[in-house]
Structure 1
Amino acid sequence: MSEAVDYTHRLRSHMQSVGVLSFRALSRQSGVSERQIDRLRRGEADRMQVQSLHKIGQVLNLSIAQLIEQFSSLSIESAVPVESNLQQEYQRLQVQLVEQRETLKQEFQRSTLQSIESWLLQFPTAAYAAQQNPQLPAVRLLPLMRPIEQLLQDWGVEAIAAVGEEVPFDPQLHQLMDGSANLGDRVRIRYAGYRQGDRLLHRAKVSPV
């Protein structure tokens, strides 16, 4: 029982040195559950997952080896091979994370390409036809843009205002292309701007009316 008290006191000492005031705060800052923090207090660092030790160590400015040495019954000598094994496991997990990110990236790209497949296949031909025949009404190309519009809608991307629309000037949303305008003055949208939820992607370009 005395060992548990010693480990708890040791942990509090490290926490105080970095300004962490409670075990709950340590849990919150490290992203590790309070149950894992309790294992440190019981001196079970050598049986904890490497991810948890690494996250706690980042907050306390301690290496994995130091955590194992100070919060387990292992000696300094025996902690060295354990540290090596844990480092290898950590590196393996890092590689696995990179591979997962690449897989997700490829899946995202594949899904996106499927969403705009009809546009990819038809728009280059339509653009070529328009170049060969300048009299071709541009309105006939508009239906080809529907896959792009649907994709943007699925992602929650919306235009700030339609091109040609007159709106009150807001410097947070609009960028003047010429002239000057005060907040609330009427301006005309010349190039659409976009936002995604609460995040502004591009300000709309405007001119004074």
Structure 2
Amino acid sequence: MSHIDFTSQLHDLMQRVGISSFKALSRTAGVSEHQLLRLRRLGVEQMRVDVLFKLAQALQITFNELVTKFSQKKLEKSKDISTNESQQLLQEIAELKKEYERSQQQMQQQRQVLLQEFQQSSLQLLESLLLQFPTAAHKARENSQLSAINIVPLVQKPLDRLLQQWGVEAIAPVGAELPYDPQVHQLLEGTAQVGELVKVRYIGYHQADKLLYRAKVSPIPPKA
């Protein structure tokens, strides 16, 4: 069986939506250029369903249109396709669509379960803050003489537990004086040379090797 080259058909569809190159189509659809080469040379028969749906979306055509246009079973117009072959092709398209819809539904369900588990674990770590802080804040508003220092542990302890659970560590505590490092420090005002002492005004964080927030610092004037 001779294979049909689908490069020209793909070019036509790309031009309709203003995509100028296969590399651009690869980026737009989120599929590899190798997958595009397979589509051009072999058609849809050997391609994954999720890849076909991404391409259909990028080319702004339906899934059925994509499968029909790039199927090796679709012969030249001068040849007739038998009823059996047509029905078989339509059945394959329907099965591919069902398979894709099932996989999408499973992925959505998995995402929902993971989100719920994440929310529940976070709420457990913040339980004391959620339950006690509103009451403490209410009492503080009623009694202006109530020291705010009594409320700090209600916030600090669950926050520390949450950060520890996620592997998030502070760069340095507020008020710390340490050598200036522009990789992890951000000056609030003035200037400082690398290695000169600065004071931490706002805490920064990193998670493993990833910097999340640089610590905001201020220069320390040299002592007379």
Pairing 1:195–2:206 present: yes
Give the Cα–Cα distance (whole angstroms) in 1 for the partners of residues 186 and 151 of structure 2: 28
Q: CA deviation at 1:180?
A: 1.2
Maintained 8 Å contact 1:164/1:190: yes
TM-score (norm 1): 0.65
Maintained 8 Å contact 1:115/1:147: yes
Maintained 8 Å contact 1:165/1:189: yes
Residue 124 of structure 1 aligns to which amino acid in structure 2? P
Q: Secondary structure at the match of 1:163?
A: coil
Say how many residue pairs are matched: 182
Structure 2 counterpart of 1:111: 121
TM-score (norm 2): 0.61
Q: Which runs of 5+ in 2 are unaligned?
A: 6-21, 24-31, 34-41, 60-65, 74-83
Q: CA deviation at 1:154?
A: 0.4
Q: Secondary structure at the match of 1:162?
A: coil
CA gap 1:113/1:83 in 2 versus in 1, 3 angstroms? same
Give the Cα–Cα distance (whole angstroms) in 1 for the partners of residues 68 and 119 of structure 2: 41
Q: Which runs of 5+ in 1 are unaligned?
A: 11-17, 20-28, 31-40
CA gap 1:208/1:134 in 2 versus in 1, 3 angstroms? farther
Higher helix share: 1
Alignment of 1:32-181 (within 5 A): 52-55=48-51, 69-70=71-72, 75=85, 78-144=88-154, 145-181=156-192
Residue 153 of structure 1 aligns to which amino acid in structure 2? Q
Give the Cα–Cα distance (whole angstroms) in 2 for the partners of residues 56 and 87 of structure 1: 10
Cα RMSD for the two superposed structures: 4.2
Residue 80 of structure 1 aligns to which amino acid in structure 2? L
Structure 2 counterpart of 1:37: none
Q: CA deviation at 1:64?
A: 5.6
CA gap 1:57/1:127 in 2 versus in 1, 3 angstroms? closer
Give the Cα–Cα distance (whole angstroms) in 1 for the partners of residues 116 and 136 of structure 2: 29
Q: Secondary structure at the match of 1:103?
A: helix
CA gap 1:65/1:107 in 2 versus in 1, 3 angstroms? farther
Q: CA deviation at 1:117?
A: 1.0
Give the Cα–Cα distance (whole angstroms) in 2 for the partners of residues 77 and 204 of structure 1: 65
Maintained 8 Å contact 1:192/1:204: yes
